[in-house]
Amino acid sequence: MLSPFANRLGIEHPLIQAPMSGSTPPALVAAVSNAGGLGSLGAGYLEPQAILDQAAQIRALGDRPYAIGLFVLPDEFEADMAAVAKAREQLDALMAQEGLDVRTSLPARWAPRFSDQFAALCEARPAVASFAFGVISPAQLGELHRRDIYVIGTATTVAEARAWVEAGADAVCVQGAEAGGHRGTFLHSAEDAMIGLFALLPLTVHALAAGAGAAGARAAGARDVPVIAAGGIMDGSSMLAAEVLGAAASQLGTAFLTCPECSAAAAWKQDLLQAEDHQVATIRSFSGRAARGLRNRFVEAMPEAAQGLPYPVLNALTAPLRRAAAAAGRGDLLSEWCGQAASLVRPQPAAELVARLMHEYRLARRALAS
């Protein structure tokens, strides 16, 4: 029996593949959607035309619902160019020391314009649009709803979840501290928003239940808002555990990183297989924004001058270095984003992984009912 959430989106399983920017090519997105989950294109780094091109590729691979995920950012950024010059000098020295024949350069823009990305998303018209790093404007949310696009907002605290509900989001994805990749935090410091998923999830479900107020009373005109669980979920039994705590669906990212359809670098995939729990840390070294991944050689050797640069400035400066490291098979110099349970990855085609996850989920349900 389909859950109300899955039924609303037209998917078969309460399973979302996370929109991991840079690692979710159309082949992965379509494979998950065609298998009955909700595949997600992480478009945070993509220029508008690339969003349209990749959306067209996803549609060409199947007609199932899919999502596009964006980072909510200002259109323009100002950078301290003296700090940038010092950071470039030290980053270039580090790359020379590590034997990589690549150097930093100043990009035409620090990041794509969010307003242009948003316009491309609207034109692509996916079934779902998801957002992190902030809340979109009422006008933007209305634009999506006029196109019948379901809106999911990312939250790392109860207050952020409430902000998304007040803005009119259709669902909220709570990102526990265990989650890999960039933190979606926007109302707090990253350090203050490192709340474990299985604490954050029931707190959020309780807070959003039919618009409950401080005393738990139902507010006039309140609506039930589905809560999606994200962070450290790697198997079907964990999906069921999240459901027991009130989740309408589970969002998995790291679990899909070692699928052959995923575009993560081969060295990164290999390192995940040997990852130890204490190696997963909150890192700012690659992008200037808190993110969860493996503490590797680059993190340890990161020049002090670069550590104060904000996102997306630092992210743009390290991009060519990360590409060169991937080409050289140097996982230890890559941003090896991953969740807390990274070593539980199971390399296999995405459709097989979806089937395996749902088999585990059904077995866990039967065991719980017995």
pLDDT digits over 142-188, tens only?
999 999 999 999 999 999 999 999 999 999 999 999 999 999 999 99
**292 - beta bridge partners?**
181, 282
What pLDDT shows up at residue 2? 72
For the beta carbon of residue 60, count every other beta carbon within 10 angstroms: 10
In whole angstroms, what is the distance from residue 38 CA to residue 327 CA?
30
Phi, psi of 132 (to 5 degrees): -140, 165
Measured CA to CA in angstroms, residue 223 lies from 51, 164, 208, 226, 322 at distances of 32, 13, 9, 10, 44
Helix, strand, coil percentages for the chain (3-state, nearest 5) = 45, 15, 40
Q: Where are the beta strands (DSSP E) in 104-180?
A: 128-132, 150-155, 171-175
Listed as own residue / partner, the contacts of 53-62 with beta carbons closer than 8 Å and 24 or more positions apart are 54/25, 54/26, 55/124, 55/126, 56/124, 57/26, 57/30, 58/26, 58/29, 58/30, 58/33, 61/26, 61/27, 61/30, 61/31, 61/34, 62/30, 62/33, 62/34
Q: Which residues of 191-204 are buried (b: 16+ CB within 10 A; e: fewer)?
A: eebbbebbebbbbb
In whole angstroms, what is the distance from residue 230 CA to residue 227 CA?
10
Yes or no: say if 231 and 212 are a contact pair by the CB < 8 Å rule. no
With tokens 């700012």, the residue in question is 284
Contacts of residue 282, Cβ cutoff 8 Å, sequence gap at least 6: 183, 190, 191, 194, 290, 291, 292
Instruction: Give the gyration radius of the chain's Cα atoms.
Output: 20
Domains, the chain, in order of start with CATH, read: 4-73+111-256+345-369 (3.20.20.70)
Yes or no: say if 256 and 17 are a contact pair by the CB < 8 Å rule. yes
What pLDDT shows up at residue 289? 94
Measured CA to CA in angstroms, residue 197 lies from 158, 175, 204, 338 at distances of 12, 7, 10, 15
For the beta carbon of residue 97, count every other beta carbon within 10 angstroms: 9
Looking from the CA of 260 toward its CB, the CA atoms found within 13 Å total 4
Phi, psi of 124 (to 5 degrees): -70, -30
pLDDT in tens, 265-278: 999 999 999 999 99
First CA to last CA distance, the chain: 19
In whole angstroms, what is the distance from residue 342 CA to residue 255 CA?
8
What pLDDT shows up at residue 211? 53
3-state DSSP assignment of residue 339: coil
Yes or no: say if 144 and 151 are a contact pair by the CB < 8 Å rule. yes
What pLDDT shows up at residue 302? 80
Low-confidence ranges of the chain (pLDDT < 70): 1, 210-223, 303-305, 307
